[in-house]
């Protein structure tokens, strides 16, 4: 009589062991996969910043000087910073650079004789012509358009401002649906409430950043050297205090990013501004203050230097070095080991 051999199946214990092994392997591989994805996003971000740097240099080659950070800002109220003809336009310099970023169609849509943002501080004057969003001014369409070259893929925050109700930050009370588009890359400027800032050519040489209000440098003005001067700073599209950087129009705060600001790179402390730093909460995907540098790349952020090269700078870098990198003609030496 022929014997029949029973088929052997997996036991419950064996199945659980296999599942556990697969779980461990996934747990080991997941961080590596995430790191690889972030490395790819960081490379894409670096490429964006390189394109921005080259576009600025192409602009300089065409016009023999770099563009302003902002022009005819409605935040100006006094002294040499006040627009001479009192006609506020709130232009950001990126508008002038659009043709060099393969955005000729968007540039052609903009009307440079009219305002791109409607904010006007009391006493600053008035805007020229109809406001954005009103008949005859299509600049609201321009400055609400996200430009991919200005967006870091590591930043999950919205690409546009979330409300049209704020007269301080929205494009215009004349537009009810379009909202300003953010940028992750903005001009290196001296941070401060805009009405307290002089025009770029009136700033002290000891503190002058590469860009400013109503003016900007020629290559010869970068006395410290293009490789030792930050031209464009990375930032996030969300902040706790104020509003993130918009690429096409100036508003109450946010005329660029200041690498030399005392809070350094990637400061995410928020709320309770009078409390000690260690008592303040942090929000991982938001910076604590407007016009400050940072990113979601681990450990630091990226910066385009004056020669259009892109450099990753650690968030642990001493603030004195950051200030020296931000200022274009202070004569201070950057340590060789940096």
**Domain limits, the chain:** 35-326
Pairing type for strands 287-289 and 239-241 reads parallel
Q: What's the pLDDT at 12?
A: 74
Give per-residue burial for 77-99: e unless 16+ CB within 10 Å, then b. beeebbbeeeebbbbbbbbbbbb
Mean pLDDT computed over 207-231: 90
Q: Give the range among 38-47, 131-140, 277-286 with minimum mean pLDDT.
A: 277-286
Mean pLDDT computed over 259-287: 78
Higher pLDDT pick, 256 / 28: 256
Side-chain half-sphere exposure of 164, counting CA atoms within 13 A:
13
CA pair distance 157, 164, nearest whole angstrom: 18
Neighbours of 29 (CB within 10 A): 10
Closest Cα partner for 248 from 32, 46, 101, 41? Answer: 101
Q: pLDDT above 90 covers what percent of the chain?
A: 50
Higher pLDDT pick, 192 / 153: 153
Q: Give the range among 87-91, 108-112, 163-167, 241-245 with minimum mean pLDDT.
A: 163-167
Higher pLDDT pick, 83 / 156: 156
Neighbours of 284 (CB within 10 A): 6
Q: What's the pLDDT at 160?
A: 96
Higher pLDDT pick, 252 / 60: 60
Mean pLDDT computed over 218-232: 92
> Tokens standing for 202?
């009136």
Which residue stretches of 8-111 are H helix?
12-63, 94-97, 104-109
The region that residue 50 occupies, defined by phi over 0 for left and psi between -120 and 50 for alpha, beta otherwise, is alpha
Residue 217 pLDDT grade (very low, low, confident, very high; cuts 50, 70, 90): confident
Q: Is the pLDDT of residue 23 over 90?
A: no
Report pTM.
0.86
Q: Is the pLDDT of residue 256 over 90?
A: yes
Q: Is the pLDDT of residue 219 over 60?
A: yes
Query: Would you call 111 helix, strand, or coil by DSSP?
Result: coil
pLDDT tens across 91-137, in order? 999 999 999 999 999 999 999 999 999 888 776 677 778 888 889 99
């Amino acid at each position: 009589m022929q014997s029949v051999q029973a088929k052997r199946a997996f036991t419950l214990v064996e199945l659980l062991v296999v599942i556990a092994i697969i779980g461990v392997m996934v747990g080991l591989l997941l961080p590596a996969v995430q790191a690889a994805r972030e490395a790819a996003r960081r490379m894409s971000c670096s490429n964006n910043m390189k394109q921005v740097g080259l576009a600025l240099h192409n602009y300089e080659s065409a016009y023999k000087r770099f563009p302003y950070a902002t022009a005819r800002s409605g935040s100006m109220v006094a002294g040499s910073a006040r627009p001479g003809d009192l006609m506020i336009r709130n232009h950001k310099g990126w508008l002038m650079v659009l043709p060099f970023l393969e955005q000729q169609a968007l540039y052609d849509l903009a009307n440079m004789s009219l305002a791109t943002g409607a904010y006007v501080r009391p006493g600053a004057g008035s805007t020229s012509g109809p406001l954005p969003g009103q008949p005859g001014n299509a600049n609201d369409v321009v400055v609400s358009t996200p430009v991919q070259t200005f967006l870091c893929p590591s930043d999950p925050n919205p690409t546009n401002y979330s409300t049209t109700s704020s007269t301080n930050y929205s494009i215009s009370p004349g537009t009810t649906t379009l909202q300003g588009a953010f940028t992750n890359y903005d001009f290196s400027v001296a941070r401060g409430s805009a009405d307290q800032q002089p025009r770029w050519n009136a700033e002290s040489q000891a503190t002058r950043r590469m860009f400013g209000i109503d003016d900007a440098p020629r290559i010869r003005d970068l006395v410290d050297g293009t490789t030792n001067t930050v031209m464009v700073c990375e930032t996030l599209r969300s902040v706790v205090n104020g509003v993130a950087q918009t690429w096409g129009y100036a508003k109450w705060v946010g005329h660029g990013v200041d690498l030399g600001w005392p809070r350094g790179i990637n400061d995410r402390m928020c709320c309770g501004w009078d409390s000690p730093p260690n008592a303040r909460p942090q929000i991982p995907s938001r910076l604590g203050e407007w016009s400050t540098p940072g990113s979601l790349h681990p450990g630091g952020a990226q910066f385009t230097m004056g020669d259009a090269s892109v450099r990753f700078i650690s968030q642990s870098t001493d603030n004195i070095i950051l200030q020296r990198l931000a200022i274009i003609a202070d004569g201070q030496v950057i340590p060789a080991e940096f």
